[in-house]
Amino acid sequence: MALYAIGDLHLSLSAQKPMDIFGGAWIGYMEKLKAGFSVINPEDTTVLMGDLSWALDLDSAREDFAWINDIPGRKIIVKGNHDYWWSTAAKFKSFCKTNGFSQMEILNNNHFAYADLAICGSRGWFFEEERSNDHDEKVFKRELIRLEASLKSAGNIPKLVFLHYPPRYKGYTCDEMLEILHRYDVRQCFYGHLHGASHGLALEGLWDGIEYKLLSADRLNFQPYRII
């Protein structure tokens, strides 16, 4: 039994927005992802950390989730900034049931157990890039509430946190997010979102008692990262 994580698959089987157009590491990324996921076994758990599909709604995302469904084992899904298909947990559950998709769960205001650990998390938010008007302020505060709800639901179980946005990178810290992580004694935080040259902005390793790691797909050469 193993725990893996990866973010930013950017599947486009129906949206016709393949990432190959960006060149570099993204050329042939679907084949790379397929090869990367071949290490996962039915007893494993994989956290998918946002930006999974370019589809604009669940119906349009059907082909992408059929692809995800073929990944063995349990899949725990975090929202990304490009996941426009995202709806309620109830609608996603119904969508999976209708299409015969199994072992897919939404991480939203909740946690999932893995061995003696709790898998917690939320999308997160960029203060500098996004928090520029009243609407963005509300979204940011809602993300703080969701992250805390996830952590609180786990009680005293040791916690791993998975975000889409990095809570800190070179020249930036999201103090409100970091305060919550420290208050709930989080020791490891994984995030995605950063691509290409932005990998150089990532702050990884131990910072103020918390270990951070960037797990966007192109950072990992499209191979899921084994945590445990």
Contact 7, 195 (CB under 8 A): no
pTM for the predicted model, two decimal places: 0.94
**C-alpha dihedral, 107 to 112 to 116 to 121, nearest 10°:** 20
Fold of domain 3-226: Purple Acid Phosphatase; chain A, domain 2 (3.60.21)
If the chain, 228 residues long, is cut into consecutive pieces of 10 residues, what is the mean pLDDT of each piece?
97 78 83 97 98 95 97 98 94 97 96 97 75 71 96 97 95 92 98 93 94 98 97
Domain map (residue ranges) of the chain: 3-226
- Per the listing, tokens 């999308």 go with 123
The CA angle 178-183-189, to the nearest 5 degrees, is 50
**Termini Cα distance of the chain:** 9
The reported pLDDT for the residue numbered 137 is: 82
Contact 168, 211 (CB under 8 A): no
